[in-house]
Each structure stands twice: as structure tokens, then as C-alpha cells.
Structure 1
Amino acid sequence: MSDPACTQVPVLDAAAAIAAASSLAGEFAAGAAERDARRALPYAELDRLASSGLLAITVPAAYGGADLDAATVTEVFRLIAQGDPNIAQIPHSHFVYVNQLRWQGDLDQRARLFTEVLQGKRFGNAQTEFGTKHVRDHRTALTPDGRTGEGVRRWRLNGTKFYCTGALFADWIPVLTHLGVDGPMHVAWVRRDAEGVEVVDDWDGIGQRTTASGTVRLREVAVTDEWITPYAATFEGPQTYGAFAQVLHAAIDAGIARAALEEAAEFVRNKSRPYPDAGVERAADDPLTVHAFGEMELALRGNEALLAEAARKVDAADAVLDDAERYEASAAEASLAVAAARASSAQVSVAIASRVFEVAGTRSALAGVGLDRHWRNARIHTLHDPAAWKVQHLGRWALDGAPPPRHGQL
């Protein structure tokens, strides 16, 4: 958890945010391979990220924040992921839930929690559950505890959540839950150190090893109405809530791919031996190697262009939020643009992180080199939600003009 005595963090404009992300990415890259090998959790690095002000860049201006646009936030994520995608993924839910407050928090909730963010506090998440029918099926529930006082309803929160990226490092854990056993989905905001909250570091994935995406157990956690926000209501009409979350995932993939390509290029320039048939002195002059790097660069530039365009579409939609007719069309365009970027990033990141071994040679596969972490990170992160369904929705739009669904994963 972050320091409870922390003071106001810097409020960064777009240029300062990009510069800070670029600088921190370089620092994070220096230790990324070693942290992966030892599964050393990045507590100090996350403190640096929080103190930089980057975790507060989407706090609305009305509450003292920079209120930066999706295009800037996406580039910040891409840069941090290029340095270490574990560190980029950890605050992903933090940004999503800052956005949730913007969409569904009341004035008091926004004032209290945005102030916390501006002081460097972090949000985690407790969303996904094992053993349910599908990823959007939940058993966790808030039930009345039978006590009343001063007109405030009191609840007890019970459930078990998995893949809770960021919870171990968080000050607040937003929990996706039913309000009542079968009621609509809401978010319960609970403190990381609240009685009945247990965060277990049991994540053992082959990639994204230091995200600490473990388990959160909730046993009779006391919650009052003031710390509950609607969730299901977000998707009753047009929204960019899902598109914003997904474009940040795409940025993480793109960052992984760029890091893999640049690290492999350095290895080829300095360590790879040329194949005899090429008749060259350096592996980097082998025409087959040059062509392979050209193909990977081409694919990655295409993905980076899709990513930038998707972020701009999210911003364009948000700019017409008050015009219902225009917003509905623009929000759909944003979701489709993000779907294209995310489907592309899933394919490109895995493909590049795998192909670099083909061009770098046998020595690049040694464990001590650490080049394999890029493939493991890409493979794990791209499983977050299926890219094939994004292609389906793009196909339905191309064939029949069918708008994308409103469920937060597109």
C-alpha cells in the first residue's frame, strides 16, 4: 500500500505526462528481466509511479486533476508497458475505476475518492470469480446486516475474487458485487486494510509474473451506502467506459511488442552470429534477418497506428457526450476502433515476441537472456478477453452495420 501520509502529487499536463512515462519506462526496463526471473514484486517502482503524478492524470479538472484525454493516457500506458508490462498492468484497474467514479459516483463519492487519488492513493480491483458460468457471472453479494443508524443502510460483503491485479498494492479495492443476493451489479469500495478483507499473493501465471494478480477474500466486510456506486447502469445506454478500458489493454500489448523487437534487434547487432550462407560479417546484415525485422516493424507500426486512432475515437465520442444522437454513433465507432486495435495488438504482440527467437538465434533462447519474458507476457495478457469476439463484432458491423454490444469488454 502507498504511504498514508503522502501529500498532493504533481498535476501533469499532456507533455509532462508523456515525458514522465518515458523516463520511468527507462528506469523500469533496467530491472524488468531480473524482477521477472525472481518474481520480485515492484513495490518501489509502483511508489515511483504514484509519486510521479501519473496515476492521477484522469482526475477531472473540477476536482483539481489534469483530466487528460484517452490519447495521452494510452500513450502513457504504451510507454510504461514497453519498460515493464507488469507495472503497466497493475494500475490498469485504477484508471478504469477512476473512470467508474466519473460515470457513476455521486458528488460526495467523487470528492472523497478523487482527493485520495490526488494524494497518490491507488485503486485495485476485485472483479472476476472462478466457478461461475462465464466471466460476467458473479456470486459476490452485499446483503443487509440488519442494523440501521442515522438513516444509512449497512451491508455485509461476502465473496471470493480471483485475478485481482493491483489489489495487493492498493489502498482501495473496488469490488464488483450484487446489491442484494440477486440484485443489480454495483461496486463496493472497501479499504485494502478493512476488517474481513484478505489479499492473497497466489498468482502463478507463466507471464506477467509480478502483477500479483491473486485472490481477494471478503468475509463479512462492513459497507455503507456512501461507499457503493452503480455498475450495471453504466451499460444501459451508449458509453465509452468499456472502450477506454480496452484501449489501455491494447496499449500494454503494443508496448510488449515494441520492447521485444527492440531488445531482439540489440541482441542481433551485438551477439548473434551470421548464418554462413548469407556471406556477411554481421548477423544484422543477413538479408533474411533484415527482411524479417522489416516485416515485424511493418506489423507493429500498423498496430500502433490502430491504437492511436482508437484512442482518438474514444476522445471524439467523449467530446459529444451531451449530444445524445451523435454520442450514440460516436460511442459505437469508438468501440469498433478499439476492437480493431485490441484484436491487432493481441495478434501482433504474440507473433513478434515469438518470431524474435527465429531471427536472433539459438543463444537468444537461454534463460539468462530473458527474451522469453516478452512472449510469456504477451501470451498471458492477450488472454484477458478473447480477440476472436472482437473480430466477430467487426464482421457483423462490416456486413450488416450491426452496432457493437454494450457490456464493457468492447
Structure 2
Amino acid sequence: MTLTVGQAFDLVYGEDAPIHVVAWDGSTGGSPDGLVFRLTNPDALNHLLAAGGELGLARAYLLGDVVIEGIDEADPYDVLRLVGDGLTARRTKGRDAIELARFLAKHRPHAPRLPEEETPGQLRRLAYGVRHGRARDAAAISHHYDVSNAFYEKVLGPSMTYTCACFPTDEASLEEAQAYKYDLVARKLGLQPGMRLLDVGCGWGGMVRHAVKHYGVSALGVTLSREQAAWAQAAIEADGIADRAEVRHGDYRDVTERGFDAISSIGLTEHIGVANYPAYFRFLHERLRDEGRLLNHCITRPDNKHPGLPPRGFINRYVFPDGELTGSGDIVRVMEDEGFEVRHHENLREHYARTCAAWNANLAKHWDDCVELAGLGRARVWGLYLAGSRLAFERNEIQLHQVLASRTSGAGMSGFTLRPRFEPAG
């Protein structure tokens, strides 16, 4: 007799697993006191078998084939942590292994129905050109960032900053931490009145506006997102700094100006592809004057052993198409190989966990508005994405590194004092 869904679950995860599976066939598995996962139809099982892991579960959840009782759709952190900590597949052998094989043969997976939020993943098809070519990069950025400025205002808060904050104290708010992050970058870059700053991948212009208003520089920001550029330029006009600040809609590779005193790259490196690092840092090196500084801020892996292309999992299919990560050592190596002198390097991993938690809280606070602006499926994707990212940063599965470097002159002049201080005096 073939196993029921509940019996198969118990063979794989044990009867004491911290979740309670209730299947459409009337069977149950796991602990009766566990968090209830309802598999409402055979498609739920097919998703789990066809993709497995986070991707299969996410697909089933987004489609309603798996219903998780009591889940906070805006912040499913507790559920993700429970599943990650409590579900460990056991090794089956003997009669159990035979029965499980029969079960899998009966429920042989087939191509699943996909949530509509995943269909933009088709932008990787040939029609969009070579990976990390200009057209495909533009399509990937538009997919994620051109959702709705109003949606991002709800999730990100007044700063409209979609990168890791830096919390100066345990009590600091998200807005205080984002302002502190921009100030930290400005201090590392040694910004002074009259300097020229280039901010590549500038988002909604937060760094551009902060540097111009608080450090007296002139600044140019560039973003591939049309929505971001429009929002940022309007904010610049409202701030009355249009004579010294500009945000362009376009590819950073189209910037022709040179001789910048400083360049900030905050959250762009993740999008350009590991194989393109040499050309990227070479381009930035060419845009700086001698003794000019570059601050590169990006998400990294905790080691340098992974290949450049990540698994085709949830993040790649639903959030960042064509995104790639590697270790900070690879980034430093390429920067040095392209002529930069690395002067300072730090990891803000715990800060990004806190940032994601704050964004989840904003999503929860404005859940109804976010659903209206982006749709229930997209809002659910963001809940999963932010909570999962928080967990990954907490567990040191991913990190966030700032690497500060200079275009040191041929005579060896770096532009740094003997003991530069980046944190404000206090």
C-alpha cells in the first residue's frame, strides 16, 4: 500500500517535526502541536517535489496551494526560522526507503504552474540579450525597482533608501541609521565643499542629496530605473539644490565625465556580474582623479569559494534577476588588480539584518496600502524576501561589506592622512 502524504512526511522529517502537515488526502504528519501547513491539493506536493526547498514552498504558498495557519504575510520571519531550524531530512533505509521510493514514483513531479510574479524571470530568455548586457540589465533593474515609488515609500520610509543602514546605537531608528550610513560614506570619501561626487546605482538619490546638502559638494547620480530617477530629480528640485545635484536615468557606463574627487557605489555591484568586475572597477578608476577615493558597498558571500552564478532560487526568480554575489576577498582582489589601493574594509552584516527587520515592520504597518499598490502576490514576495534576507544575514550566510580605496598617484600619494577617522567624534 502506498504511503499517504502525512506518512511520507514523517518518514523524511519525523513525527516530532515542529510543523503539522494536513494534506488534501486527509492524512497528517509531524507534531500535532506544530505550526499547521495545509496542502490543499496535489499541486502543493508537486511544487515541493519539482523544485524542493525554498523555491517550491514559496511557489505553493504564493499560489495558495500551501496555507500556513497564523502566518504574518508581511513578516514571516518566525515561520522561516522555524522551518530552517526544525526541518532536517532524515536518512531512510530498508523498508522505509522502499516505501518512500514507491511514494515518489506515484507522485512523480511534472512542470508546475508558476505564480505570475515569477513570469518576469523570462527576461533571461534570448530576447533580452546576453547576461549583463545593457538591454538585459535594464530589464532586470526595471523588474525590481519600477514596481511603484509609492510602494517603496511605504516599505523604505522617508529616506527612500534601499541599502543597508548603519545603526550607531541599539536605539537608533531606521531613518537615523540611514542618515548615519550616508554620513559614514561621506566621511570615508573625505568629502569637502567644492568636490565632485559620482554616485553609481544611486537609487532614489539619497547619497547625492545628503552629500550636496551636508558636505557642500556637487554630485551626479546614475540609475537604470526610470522611476527612481524621476523621484530623485523631483526631490532635488524640492530641496533647491538642482544647481549642484543631478540624477540621470541611464547606464553608469554612459558617464563620460572624468576627474571626480570621489565615487560611491552603494548596492550596485550585486547587479553587474562577477565576470564584469574588472571592467567595472577599471571604469571607475578611470573616472577618478589621482588621490580620489572609491567606496564600494555591497552584499557578499561569507567566503570566496562559490561560483559567480548563484543557484536559480527564490531571490533570483522573484527579486533580483541575474543578481550575483561573491566574497569580499574577490572584490578586493579585482579592485587592487585594476589599480586601486585598498585602505579600509569593514563588514556591516548585523546592520543589514536590522535594516531588513525594519523594512518588514514598515511593510506590516502599511500592509493594506502595499497590497493595493503592488498586488497581494508581490506584497507576499516582499514579506518572504525581507524576512529570509534578515535570517540569512543573522546566520552569516550573506554579509555586507564596505571597501574604501584610493586612486593612488604614480608618486605614491593616496590622499589619506596617517590615521584617518571615519566615525564622528563623540
TM-score where L is the length of structure 2: 0.23
Which has the greater radius of gyration? 2
TM-score where L is the length of structure 1: 0.24
Pick the structure with more helix per residue: 1
